Amino acid sequence: MEVSANPRPFKLCGSCGRPWPSWDEFVADPQVRLLGLQAVANVPDASVLIFEHRCGSSISVLTKRLHHLVPDPHPEWPSLRGTDSCPRHCFALEDHGACDRRCANSRDRDILQLVERIHANRSG
């Protein structure tokens, strides 16, 4: 049996099949647009960043795959999602605002902000 020497790509478009070998190539691609963060209540490791590829397909990236980009100095913070203390940023995909709360989802919001800055820098 022959084993392929090519590693799996970081992401593969489910519609057109376009591969991105690495996160850096994926996030730098001008044909990829960030839609937002889909935070999962009480399961922060299941949260995803949702992107749209030019072909019209949506592409999800688990935020835990990107945790190395933003340090987590407070891993013990609880999820505030749905509580009175929650500013509800994580309820709307199009809300890219930063969150100043001590919440388990705040790291993923920081990753969202980082991707926003990367996208702003690549186009301007």
* Per-residue pLDDT tens digits for 32-58: 999 999 988 777 789 999 999 999 999
**72 Cβ contact list (under 8 Å, min separation 6):** 107
pLDDT at 2: 53
Burial of 119 per CB tally in 10 Å (0-12, 13-18, 19+):
middle
Count other Cβ atoms within 10 Å, centred on residue 20.
19
**What are the residue boundaries of the structural domains of the chain, listed by start?**
11-80+90-123
Q: Which residue has the higher pLDDT, 60 or 6?
A: 60
Confidence check: pLDDT of 1 > 60: no
| Nearest-angstrom CA–CA distance, 119 and 72 | 23
pLDDT digits over 4-25, tens only? 556 889 999 999 999 999 999 9
pTM summary value? 0.85
pLDDT at 73: 63
Average pLDDT over residues 58-84: 86
Confidence check: pLDDT of 70 > 70: yes
Q: What is the number of helices (H) and of strands (E) in the chain?
A: 2, 5
Average pLDDT over residues 92-108: 88
